[in-house]
Amino acid sequence: MTTTRPHTEPAPLGRSGLARTVTSDTGRVVRISGPVISATDLPHTRLFDVVRVGTERLLGEVIKLDGDLVVMQVFEDTTGLQVGEPVEATGEPLYAELGPGLLGGILDGTQRPLENLSTDGNLYIARGADPHRLDRNRHWDFRPAVEVGDRVGPGDLLGSVPEGHAIEHRILVPAGAAGIISAIHPGPATVLDPVVDIDGHPIAMLRRWPLRRARPVADRLPLTVPLITGQRVLDLLFPVARGGSAIIPGGFGTGKTVLEQALAKFSTADIVIYVGCGERGNELTEVLEEFPQLTDPRTGAPLMERTVLIANTSNMPVAAREASIYSGITIAEYYRDQGYDVAMMADSTSRWGEALREVSSRLEEMPAEDGYPAYLATRLAGFYERAGAVQCLGTPERTGSVTVVGAVSPAGGDFSEPITQNSLRLAGCFWALDTALSRQRHFPAVNWLRSFSQYGLDAWFDREISADWSPLRRWAAASLQDEGVLQEVVSLLGVEALAAEQRITLRIGQALREDLLQQSSFDDLDASCPPQRLLAMLRVVHEAGAAMRSALQQGVAITDITAASVLADLGRMRRWPADNIHESASRLIQRIAEEMSSL
């Protein structure tokens, strides 16, 4: 079997576009300042072309052209690099390699598999390593979906290979290619072996796509279906749509990473891309050790089989951190194009912004707010706008989505800083984490008065979960709002200053906060809450409120009502066994009603 070179999309030449001329140059280093290098004698180089710097061939990317001077950021540590060393320009932008074998991968910011970066028992990341992004030797069982003589165009399904137990990896006609299927090569194939011929041109499974460019779609679709996260406070009060975007800003210790990881584990996405961007090594290790042990709640397959981890920890080179976000979203779009719902978690976008700032500062660009470059908002928009629900290109007809959840680490926990503010304009959900809540160990520390969701998803919940969902949701939101106002009074005058009716509102708010919104990521039963359980719990709290109010009308003393021992059972709802949730709820509702009327 012959092999073809990886298919670069979109092909610039010819109908099936396999040929591509590449002009490469060799220049030399003239200036070194940390990750920013300047070189001369590279006349053909274009912005964002990939370069190989020095005798160690460090990976870099052109970020500025200034006369004869070509300025580049290097994705690896530049210690020891000397003026005069060669710089080789490849004439190509930074590509992601796309194809079977991505899932389960653990990659650095430029998509290099981490296991190939430390060889022979070395603990550290070697420099200049340039392993294949996708395994070239592994064989995949190609099952064609076309026949010889079929006319195909971009995005059409050619066939599929099983990737793990649950995911069928669909091989599509590359962008820019079209024609008639002239041969089919079913069976085991590496990513470089041809699987079909189009007009006599062999097409393999491997695709290359420039990281910084969004992949094309047939159409953008309205966002009407929620991505169920399994987190009660989010699914109930601030749901995110499939194809939407959310940001999680919070000071340190407010639980951003725990929440991101919970979403990666439990959200109802087909594929999860988790980008650890400038964060802690030990946290990534936790993910690396934990995920292979967990199973996907929907398919029963190991969680790792639906996950791609991109790990660029805070001590790894800063420019690769900047690229990691784009590597992640490109892989996400690739699976979206196959018709999957993909969720991408980026932890944390602030570290990405800081990488931009660091490089910008070394370029001596004029800073805007807080030293960030003036193009920060443009770059953020370019990233968040790649989220979306789409009608995919090609046949058969299919839809896919990319949902983006970005953690933000505002300096000093102050949300007025540029990354939070610029992201806020772009994201449809704002899940504000609150230092005060985290200090009370109220987790997830999502502030219910400050957060918002702009996706109107009530119709879906009312149709798919239960018709009383949206009335209950509005009741819960209003009760929490009322309680917030009353709490301010209490903090000034004490609880005795409130009317009995108001103290019931206070007690309902407490039940909502402590028994419903709080959720423990470390408790197996409670870590993820399906909508039906959430609905059952919400009904109980609602009925408990009604029972308390009616007891008050019967003339029972307020202190007796709020001290009723049955109310403690609200705290046990989260540990109810998964089956017969609604019966458990009915029983508790009945017991509350009985005890309230017996007072």
Q: Hey, which residues between 164 and 223 contact other proteins (CB under 8 A)? A: none
Q: Is 477 in the site for other proteins (CB under 8 A)?
A: no
Binding residue (CB under 8 A) for other proteins from 2, 491, 553, 598: 491
Q: Which of residues 563-582 bind other proteins (CB under 8 A)?
A: 565, 568, 571
Q: Which of residues 89-108 bind other proteins (CB under 8 A)?
A: 106
Residues in the chain: 599
CB of 312 to other proteins, least distance (A): 9
Binding residue (CB under 8 A) for other proteins from 168, 370, 560, 583: 370
Q: Is 467 in the site for other proteins (CB under 8 A)?
A: no
Stretch that binds other proteins, among 79-87, 171-179, 224-232, 467-475 (CB under 8 A): 79-87
Cis geometry, peptide bond prior to residue 348 (ω within 30 degrees of 0): yes
CB of 274 to other proteins, least distance (A): 12
CB of 210 to other proteins, least distance (A): 26
54 within 8 A of 85, measured Cβ to Cβ = yes
Q: Is 351 in the site for other proteins (CB under 8 A)?
A: yes
Q: Which of residues 248-277 bind other proteins (CB under 8 A)?
A: 251-253
Q: Are strands 49-53 and 36-40 parallel, antiparallel or unpaired?
A: unpaired
Spatial distance between the Cα atoms of 65 and 25, rounded to a whole number of angstroms: 15
At 241, list the tokens: 């749509």
The continuous run of DSSP H or E covering 65 comes out as strand 58-66
Spatial distance between the Cα atoms of 127 and 106, rounded to a whole number of angstroms: 18
Binding residue (CB under 8 A) for other proteins from 440, 554, 580, 597: 440
Binding residue (CB under 8 A) for other proteins from 83, 183, 374, 557: 83
| Cross-strand pairs, 413 | none
Q: Are strands 157-163 and 140-144 parallel, antiparallel or unpaired?
A: antiparallel
Q: Considering the complex, state which of residue 91 and residue 250 has its C-beta at the smaller distance from other proteins.
A: 250
**Alpha carbon of 425 to those of 68, 245, 380, 428: distances in Å?**
39, 11, 10, 8
Q: Is 278 in the site for other proteins (CB under 8 A)?
A: yes
Q: Considering the complex, state which of residue 283 and residue 458 has its C-beta at the smaller distance from other proteins.
A: 283
Phi, then psi, of 258 in degrees rounded to 5: -60, -40
The 3-state secondary structure of 512-536, one letter per residue: HHHHHHCCCCCCCCCCCCCHHHHHH
Q: Is 66 in the site for other proteins (CB under 8 A)?
A: no
Q: Is 86 in the site for other proteins (CB under 8 A)?
A: no
Binding residue (CB under 8 A) for other proteins from 357, 386, 533, 542: 357
Q: 14 by DSSP, 3-state: which?
A: coil
Q: 458 by DSSP, 3-state: which?
A: helix
Stretch that binds other proteins, among 41-49, 280-288, 447-455, 468-476 (CB under 8 A): 280-288
Spatial distance between the Cα atoms of 424 and 429, rounded to a whole number of angstroms: 8
Q: Is 561 in the site for other proteins (CB under 8 A)?
A: no
Q: Considering the complex, state which of residue 429 and residue 573 has its C-beta at the smaller distance from other proteins.
A: 573
Spatial distance between the Cα atoms of 121 and 116, rounded to a whole number of angstroms: 11
Q: Is 413 in the site for other proteins (CB under 8 A)?
A: yes
Stretch that binds other proteins, among 218-226, 283-291, 547-555, 586-594 (CB under 8 A): 283-291
Q: Is 150 in the site for other proteins (CB under 8 A)?
A: no
Q: Considering the complex, state which of residue 177 and residue 264 has its C-beta at the smaller distance from other proteins.
A: 264
Binding residue (CB under 8 A) for other proteins from 3, 4, 24, 30: 30
Spatial distance between the Cα atoms of 328 and 118, rounded to a whole number of angstroms: 22
Q: 439 by DSSP, 3-state: which?
A: helix
Q: Are strands 36-40 and 25-33 parallel, antiparallel or unpaired?
A: antiparallel
Rg of the chain in Å (alpha carbons): 27
Q: Look at the alpha carbons of 562, 567, 482, 449 in this order and tell me if their dihedral is positive or negative.
A: positive
Q: Is 117 in the site for other proteins (CB under 8 A)?
A: yes
Binding residue (CB under 8 A) for other proteins from 64, 280, 500, 599: 280
Q: Is 591 in the site for other proteins (CB under 8 A)?
A: no
CB of 56 to other proteins, least distance (A): 11
Q: Is 128 in the site for other proteins (CB under 8 A)?
A: no
At 72, list the tokens: 């580049």
Q: Is 31 in the site for other proteins (CB under 8 A)?
A: yes
Spatial distance between the Cα atoms of 395 and 22, rounded to a whole number of angstroms: 32
Q: Is 149 in the site for other proteins (CB under 8 A)?
A: no
Binding residue (CB under 8 A) for other proteins from 67, 149, 222, 494: 494
Q: Considering the complex, state which of residue 389 and residue 437 has its C-beta at the smaller distance from other proteins.
A: 437
Q: Is 281 in the site for other proteins (CB under 8 A)?
A: yes
CB of 199 to other proteins, least distance (A): 43
CB atoms within 10 A of CB 361: 16
Spatial distance between the Cα atoms of 355 and 371, rounded to a whole number of angstroms: 12
Stretch that binds other proteins, among 180-188, 231-239, 306-314, 466-474 (CB under 8 A): 306-314
255 within 8 A of 438, measured Cβ to Cβ = yes
Q: Considering the complex, state which of residue 310 and residue 465 has its C-beta at the smaller distance from other proteins.
A: 310
Q: Look at phi and psi of residue 101 and say left if phi exceeds 0, alpha if psi is from -120 to 50, else beta.
A: left
Q: Considering the complex, state which of residue 171 and residue 432 has its C-beta at the smaller distance from other proteins.
A: 432
Binding residue (CB under 8 A) for other proteins from 130, 286, 501, 560: 286
Widest distance between CA atoms in the chain = 90
Q: Considering the complex, state which of residue 311 and residue 329 has its C-beta at the smaller distance from other proteins.
A: 311
Q: Is 10 in the site for other proteins (CB under 8 A)?
A: no
CB of 165 to other proteins, least distance (A): 23
Phi, then psi, of 91 in degrees rounded to 5: 75, 10
Q: Is 123 in the site for other proteins (CB under 8 A)?
A: yes
Give the helix ranges, DSSP H, for 427-530: 435-439, 458-464, 469-493, 500-511
